[in-house]
Amino acid sequence: MPLPKLSLRKIVLSSKELFIFAIPIVLGQLGQMLIGAGDVLVAAKYSTEAVAATGVATGFISPLFVAGLSCLAGISPILAKRRGEGEDVGKYLVTSIVYAVIVAIITQLLTLLLIQFIPYFNFEAKLIPLIRQYSIAFSFSFLGAFIFQAVKEFLQSFEDVLFSNALSVIAVISNIALNYVFVFGLGPIPSYGVVGLAIASIITRISLAIAIIIYAKKYLHSFSIFTTLFWEITKLSIPIAFTVGMEVAAFGLSSILTGMMGTIQAAAHNVILTLASITFMVPLAVSNAVAVKVGHAIGEKRIDRVFLFIESALFLSLTFMSCSGLAFYFFPEYCLKLFSADSQLIVVGVPILFIVALFQLFDGVQVTLSGVLRGLGETYRVFFIIMVSYWIIGLPLGSYLAFNHHLLARGIWIGLAIGLCCQAIGVSILLKITTKKVEEKLILCNPSIL
């Protein structure tokens, strides 16, 4: 069957609709990322060792943390689809929160177990106690983070995104202030060093969770717990969790590998990873927005709107990533100096940032199309694309270049860039296959869309 014909006018209008929906999500995602960037900023003011230690610690705990958060990613597309079918989904708020609490507890316990293996890696001796202390303290911020994310997903299914994402932006400022207080000390509060970063995160995330629950109470229609929704969320989200976990684990392992290369290499890698993650937040937000829009369109059996949102999401993501790539390529030193004035770090970081500039478009494509596939209910095969792209191609190649050809952190990033390119190609092929099947199914239900 032929694809629906998409006029330029329709694409522009749907881009505007998606943009308006995505803007608060973009700000919220940037807010969440900038909380981490604020940690790097304050750590850099404290010491280069602090930057290196928190970067390596993040490499250890991020895969589990982000995988746990991704277990909640199925909430918004599932509830958006039900809302598109006419169901009142306000009754699922308590279920979403309880689900988040269970996942948070499991994730923290697994993280505390993983932390016990830190001394067995070949890190500089002076970094090991800092890595352990920060990791253990940071794990206690999981509960607040998971509850906030679950309620945010719940609100997102209603396309109510302004309040939750505004909270994330406000939290950036408060978290930086708390970082300075607990890292350097203030009045009767002593200096906690790198542990102070984790203490600030705990306070910030618990505050966010309380605030968003109070706001979401207006949708609360029932205190019942619907265990059938648990299994539906789990079925859709577990592949997402494994997929995101594998991707974050790849970057986490890159942090661990650079941690073995010395303080400067590790610190440069951490700063560049922070910069790349900040730009990634924009297409990630578009991905989250398009997952909801596509899920709702599927519930309404509107294949024409599915294709419109695919075109619009790609347009928005690629436009932004083109701009960020140009900024990294032409102004690398300025970008690095936003976080550190260490001349050695900048010398190491500039050639790596050139590599990051070159893969921005591929990164935008892969995350945007992954969001579309999530809205279509396709999450399993994305996992295998990630596994091949990073763990069979990207990381082995990066490690080979880093250690056998002495390219160090630059070699790691070359491998990651090639892995991202493979991933973008893979999800593009998968989307073509999936949309064809969905199109045929929905057109049988609603032939008038042709």
Give me the mean pLDDT over the 213-218 stretch. 92
Which of 16-30, 71-85, 203-217 is predicted most confidently?
203-217
Q: Please write the tens of the pLDDT for every residue from 386-416.
A: 889 989 999 999 999 988 888 888 999 999 9
Q: Average pLDDT for residues 158-182, to the nearest whole number?
A: 86
pTM of the model: 0.71
Q: What percentage of residues in the chain have a pLDDT greater than 90?
A: 27
Instruction: Say which range, 111-115, 140-144, 221-225, 299-303, has the weakest mean pLDDT.
Output: 299-303
Q: Are the CB atoms for 256 and 60 separated by under 8 Å?
A: yes
Q: What's the CA gap between 36 and 127, in Å, rounded?
A: 19
Q: Over 70: is that where the pLDDT of 327 sits?
A: yes
Residue spans per domain, the chain: 8-449
Q: What is the 3-state secondary structure of 196-214?
A: HHHHHHHHHHHHHHHHHHH
| Residue 57 to residue 44: CA distance in whole angstroms | 15
